[in-house]
Structure 1
Amino acid sequence: MTTARETAAVPGIGGPAVPAPGGPAVPDPARPGPAVPRPPVAPERAAPAARPRAAGYRTDLDGLRGVAIALVVVFHIWMGRVSGGVDVFLVLAGFFFTASLLRRAESGGGISIRERVAGLARRLLPALVLVLAVVAGYVVLTQPYTQWTEIAAQTQASLLYYQNWYLAFSWADYLAADPSVSPLQHLWSMSLQGQFYLAALLGIAALAWSCRALGRPAATRPVVAFVLALLTAASFVYAARGVGLHQGWNYYDSFARAWELLAGALVAVVLPGLNLPRVARVLLALAGAVLVAACGWVVNGSAMFPGPAALIPVGATIALILAGQNLRTAELPLPNRLLAAPVAVRLGEMAYALYLWHWPLLIFVLGHLGDAKIGLRAGLAVLGVSLVLAYLTHRFVEEPLRAPAAARTPKAEYGRRAVAALGVTVLAVTVGAQVFTSLSPARPMQDLDALRYPGAEALVGGAPTPDAPMRPSVLEAGADNAYPTRDGCIADWDTREVITCAYGDPDAERTIAVVGNSHSEHWVPALDILGRENGVRIAVYLKMGCPLTVAEETSYKGQSIPDCRDWSLEVIDRLGVDRPDWVFTTGTRPKPLTGDETPDDYVQVWSRLSEHGLNIIAMRDTPWLRRDGVRYRAIDCLADKGDRHSCGMRRVDAFDPANPADGPAASFPNVFTLDLTDAVCEPDICPVVIGNTLVYHDEHHLTASYSRSLAPELGRRLGPILGWW
């Protein structure tokens, strides 16, 4: 399955370009087409797709967009890697838009903010609104209602151009629904570009106005270059630092990504003054073409972009821009002439629409197949349908609706009104869904009646299960998480600080320290009961996605958590000072496909804790719901008419026959393994509902309600180890 890091950017503005005086061809988002006179046409016979191109038009850059979108689509469908196409598009977007603004600023007419915003809206919104409406409709018709609120929130975020921040905060929320398979995930980059367009428009307009007001209009370009250079350097340093601190957030962060757009903008500012020799142009073209094609193979972009590694696709794009500056097509270096081939240029013209359609189609097909990867035949089908939809969208939606009101045909005007009405409807529905959800938010469950809701005791203690509705319900499940998450007692992705809180009997002399990530955390409700009943303090040392580790590299869902090791080492030292009676942590984790394991890193942690003379309880991890490597939420399956068994997971897929922690633990006299598999799994199936109680509130975290029901069995198993009851 492709992940959150493997989505494309909007391919520039996706429209035709006009040449700046003495400079490169640049797109003008305020205009429907080239800045050349158009012959009058009959209203019903206008053919917007057949527009003439102005002299100096950079068809090779259209072709570069075509090659970039081809790489993005192919890598998404089959390779499962970042192609670098996102970075190519970002540079081109900054280059084109900034050059267009400067041309207007230096023409003496000034920059009309209203006109520019209207032009951007005409170019970007029609196709976007159409895709958002189709995706939302598909989800409502085919997906369980437990997913509707999430898709409404992402639709709204995409339409209002803050999808990148929505996904950044979703990644920061460890308990959020998995955003990596959202059909709208790819629109983060469109939001990023929309934010850049607005910021660049306001900033350059303000600088141009200031220079004119001071009587120095000729200073506009040098001033803009100076400001862009400062911002580019600051953004690059920020992005480089973010790779090592919090890459999951860094990937979506607008300011971390800004340097790639600003680099293109800076090139647009200084380009007219450059005149490179032929040899330099050829070398730049060859290097640029090779690096664009090879980037996805040689760099793990999902773990490294937009840090310094992104200099490869950014530099390659700039090299290709410079190589063809002020040259006719016949004079271009060979790589640029190849990019100017009709197939590549035509693909570049459809790049925006192709970008919009291919990702949701891929996600829907993967969901239908129930697989993490797509085969050749299905992938070709996704590619073919995406191309057809891209052509139809470009021909019948984008092209007719780009014209301003004065040049719009009656049919185009009708289409514009239809798209506007559709956009307002989509926004109103999504906002309404968010308001409705906020008026009736899910709340944490109170203690359930043990007779009606025996939970784990129905499995291990033989407690009868009467007829009663499942609790928490599928709509209540999201709020029924462990206490530290509710109380802010677990460090999130951005928090390096060690946070500690106490549960059970806070004043007790005996202490169990619960250490690690959320899979240690979800035992806290059960341990809290035992602590209150038996006079034990339950102290927590927890961080999202971070098992206690001494490994150099730690990741969750394929994304690095750079500060996890430093946090873990500090926790180990703190435990040596605090000296709890016992350290409770997970002793296993799931393998990539089936079964579970105790990684060597866990054993190294036991060794470190042993050096401090600490006793350890290594708990076998609970199942992570998955089929063929694809994770799923119990609530989605239940809402889609599944039952406790059909939505469950085969025990043989969740666990190895024997607890893998038993072997290495035998070498440590202070390490005691604990396995409560029989309290969450039947002999063949690990169901998602036991004793009328929902087991999981997402893909793999126990509900607090089910954790509380585990307290009696956990107490029975801990008693002989602790010797306290």
Structure 2
Amino acid sequence: MLTVSPTRSAVAAVSDTSQSAAGNRKAGFYRHDLDGLRGIAIALVAMFHVWFGRVSGGVDVFLALSGFFFGGKLLRTALNPASSLSPLPEVVRLVRRLLPALVVVLAGCAVLTVLIQPETRWETFADQSLASLGYYQNWELAGTVADYLRAGESVSPLQHIWSMSVQGQFYVAFLALVFGFAVLFRRRLAGRLRTAFVVLLAGLTAASFVYAIIAHQAQQSTAYYNSFARAWELLLGALAGALVPYVRWPMWLRTAAATVALLAVLSCGALIDGVKQFPGPWALVPVGATLLFILAGANRATGDSLPLPNRLLATRPLVRLGDIAYSLYLWHWPLLIFWLAYSGHAHANFVDGAGVLLISGVLAYLTNRFVEEPLRHRGPTQATAAPVIPWRRRLRRPTMVLGSVIALLGVTLTATAFTWREHVNVARADGKELLTLNPNDYPGARALIDHLRVPALRMRPTVLEAQEDYPPSTRDGCISDFYDTSVITCAYGDRKATRTIALAGGSHAEHWLTALDILGRKHQFRVVTYLKMGCALSTETMPRVMGNNDPYPQCRDWVPKAMAKVIADHPDFVFTTSTRPWNIKPGDVMPGTYVGIWQAFSDNNIPILAMRDTPWLVKDGQPFNPSDCLAKGGDAQSCGIKRSEVLSDRNTTLDFVGQFPLLKPLDMSDAVCRRDICRAVEGNVLVYHDAHHLSATYVRTLTNELGRQMAAATGWW
């Protein structure tokens, strides 16, 4: 997220409370080089996002600068014995600086979402726009990453606002901390107040950094958005604000430090994979470089000139780029995402990317000039060393009309988001009808198997209903989430039956529960679930999450517990998946890490109903959701995937039957896909509810075929 600099009069050199320092603060100077650093950072962020699909470290630079500007300012005011202890003026300034541009960008994104994105994405946009306005977008994204049901979701045009939320939360927390500390200890500590607070700040910084390392190791993908794991980056900036008055380096050392810092910032994105390494220890590179650059220019209060690298960044073009950095950050990412959605490209080429950057720059300039600047300043400020640009002088006093329009726009966005969410809830309430669809009107898989005639009727579930067309175990909380390593068991089918089938593994085993529940009640057997999101039974030492390939240590810890529980319960059969998609070529394969699982069950005389996994739909290397395609106007054929791209010619589970006589292969591929294509809709029923999970409605239509194969495998009916 970008730092938004305080007003020019507020960014005087950070100094202590001595009389001489007070004189320096009154005269003041403005760190134009830090505006230039912000300009370099936004250029790196935008270019790396658009052309390279990588994290540049620029966001971490922004966070550190935010801590320096905001934290340093509060250290000079709230901890000054002569200052007011009211945080209200600071809150008002924050709102005036941050919200107007954000509201304008969100409004623009809302229009583009309706024009470009399918309606299946509108709910997510509504949720994330509310999260952005409420400054909890980072937690919304962290929850999405951890939610396997949404793990295949396309990238959000508002994803980048997570860092703004982290910054906003920091501002509120830091305000409360510093003013609360001042109220409690101003009289007791007197002259030691500032020192005591800096010690507290150092302790909080260390605690956050240690937490970041632990969270990074536990689940990096969620730690990336975690405010507590990111707090140390801002707190280090605030500490730099406390250190600046005491830094007295010779010019040669300042020049060397500034040069090293600038080179580190410029090379960070190329040398470090920030998506995988941040906010862990490697984030010290961009953050440490930022602090080094700040401190390299700290002697200015003594009359020294800035080092050469600092002077270079204080040049007018970079300073102007820094001025529009906040708006440019807001605009560039959604424009990139909308262009990719509109063009159908997986990545932006050089020309496309240049166009996105150019349009982003124009919109950023307009937003800065006509929204940010008029609403940021109440009126003329005190004179500073910085020259006042004429058009800025004319725009110092915000207009009531503009402020009212922005406020009305924010209210409209909020009301529209809540209205659409309510519409979706009403539409999904009709999903209860899915349990009682007429089988003649909605034959689903039976249209493939029995070649039934299919009447021309509306597809069910609809694209909105499909997103929550889950098996009963999901609704009942009978599947462990990504973080839970405990084994949760629930019973379905005929719960009083003496015969038992254990349904074990991940969500691709789980989605067969809809049919197994029906068969269990019909043929008198009990189904007991042993399920964990994204965790197939495997002896892999470090499983990875399918889709984003993140390490999944919780799965590794859960599998032995689940295996021990299943073996101890000794069911009549274990039902689990036996194949996975290849990650290096089209088709599917039985992984070698499944063999140890089959051996363990065989050693304990437990037969295995080994279900070939259903196809994972992928196009151009990205998860492909048929609902999105259908919502854009596609049909069952055009929104399908060639069978050869997702299924091998032969079920490789069959190669292991000789080795494991208790292995009973099941294969429903011909009931999901045609000979040449896996279509989006069969028999008026939507096959998938996302990119790789079968809809519960379609699984119900698979009940007869699954029952036929299970009867042959078990001999029970």
TM over 0.5: yes
The equivalent of 2:19 in structure 1 is: none
Select 1:534's aligned residue among 513, 518, 523. 523
CA distance in 2, matches of 1:686, 1:219: 72
The equivalent of 1:688 in structure 2 is: 680
Cα offsets for 1:298-351 (capped at 9, x unmatched):
333223322233223222222222222223898444443443344333322221
Quick check: 219-228 or 516-525, which moved more?
A: 219-228
CA distance in 1, matches of 2:359, 2:600: 55
Give aligned-pair identity as a percent: 49
Query: Tell me, what secondary structure is at the counterpart of 1:122?
Result: helix
In the alignment, residue 416 of structure 1 is paired with which amino acid?
G
**For 1:365-380, what aligned pairs fall within 5 Å after superposition?**
365-380=339-354
| Residue 706 (structure 2) pairs with residue 701 (structure 1) | no
Superposed displacement of residue 66, structure 1: 1.8
CA gap of 1:643–1:278, structure 2 versus 1, over 3 A, is same
Query: Tell me, what secondary structure is at the counterpart of 1:326?
Result: helix
Select 1:339's aligned residue among 301, 308, 313. 313
C-alpha contact 1:14 1:348 (8 A) present in aligned 2:
no
The equivalent of 2:387 in structure 1 is: none
Select 1:63's aligned residue among 25, 36, 50. 36
Give the CA RMSD over aligned residues: 2.7
Query: Tell me, what secondary structure is at the counterpart of 2:609?
Result: strand
Superposed displacement of residue 665, structure 1: 5.8
Select 2:556's aligned residue among 561, 565, 584. 565
Superposed displacement of residue 179, structure 1: 5.0
Superposed displacement of residue 505, structure 1: 2.3
Select 1:240's aligned residue among 191, 196, 213. 213
The equivalent of 1:312 in structure 2 is: 285
Superposed displacement of residue 240, structure 1: 1.9
The equivalent of 2:136 in structure 1 is: 162
Select 1:582's aligned residue among 573, 596, 604. 573
In the alignment, residue 434 of structure 1 is paired with which amino acid?
R
Quick check: 546-555 or 357-366, which moved more?
A: 546-555
CA distance in 1, matches of 2:10, 2:36: 16
C-alpha contact 2:640 2:677 (8 A) present in aligned 1:
yes
CA gap of 1:179–1:337, structure 2 versus 1, over 3 A, is farther
The equivalent of 1:231 in structure 2 is: 204
Unaligned runs of 5+ in 2: 17-24, 382-394
CA distance in 2, matches of 1:719, 1:17: 81
C-alpha contact 1:224 1:269 (8 A) present in aligned 2:
no
**For 1:429-578, what aligned pairs fall within 5 Å after superposition?**
429-437=416-424, 441-442=428-429, 443-444=431-432, 445-549=434-538, 550-558=540-548, 559-578=550-569
CA distance in 2, matches of 1:610, 1:271: 69
The equivalent of 1:623 in structure 2 is: 615
CA distance in 2, matches of 1:262, 1:180: 33
**For 1:63-212, what aligned pairs fall within 5 Å after superposition?**
63-107=36-80, 108-176=82-150, 178=152, 181-212=155-186
Query: Tell me, what secondary structure is at the counterpart of 1:181?
Result: coil
Query: Tell me, what secondary structure is at the counterpart of 1:367?
Result: helix
C-alpha contact 1:14 1:350 (8 A) present in aligned 2:
no
CA distance in 2, matches of 1:15, 1:520: 58
CA distance in 1, matches of 2:251, 2:599: 63
TM-score, normalised to structure 2, is 0.89
Quick check: 577-586 or 259-268, which moved more?
A: 577-586
CA distance in 2, matches of 1:277, 1:571: 64
Query: Tell me, what secondary structure is at the counterpart of 1:617?
Result: strand
Query: Tell me, what secondary structure is at the counterpart of 2:300?
Result: coil
CA gap of 1:601–1:283, structure 2 versus 1, over 3 A, is farther
C-alpha contact 1:401 1:413 (8 A) present in aligned 2:
no
C-alpha contact 2:428 2:464 (8 A) present in aligned 1:
no
**For 1:12-51, what aligned pairs fall within 5 Å after superposition?**
12-13=4-5, 16=8, 18-20=10-12, 22-23=14-15
The equivalent of 1:48 in structure 2 is: none
CA distance in 1, matches of 2:183, 2:88: 15
Query: Tell me, what secondary structure is at the counterpart of 2:610?
Result: strand
C-alpha contact 1:211 1:219 (8 A) present in aligned 2:
no
Superposed displacement of residue 360, structure 1: 0.4
Query: Tell me, what secondary structure is at the counterpart of 1:343?
Result: helix
Superposed displacement of residue 537, structure 1: 2.2
C-alpha contact 2:14 2:241 (8 A) present in aligned 1:
no
Quick check: 359-368 or 541-550, which moved more?
A: 541-550
Query: Tell me, what secondary structure is at the counterpart of 1:601?
Result: helix
C-alpha contact 1:23 1:326 (8 A) present in aligned 2:
no
Superposed displacement of residue 111, structure 1: 4.3
CA gap of 1:168–1:15, structure 2 versus 1, over 3 A, is farther
In the alignment, residue 478 of structure 2 is paired with which amino acid?
C
In the alignment, residue 328 of structure 2 is paired with which amino acid?
L
Superposed displacement of residue 697, structure 1: 1.5
Superposed displacement of residue 556, structure 1: 3.7
The equivalent of 1:28 in structure 2 is: none
CA gap of 1:486–1:210, structure 2 versus 1, over 3 A, is same
Quick check: 610-619 or 363-372, which moved more?
A: 610-619
| Residue 263 (structure 2) pairs with residue 290 (structure 1) | yes
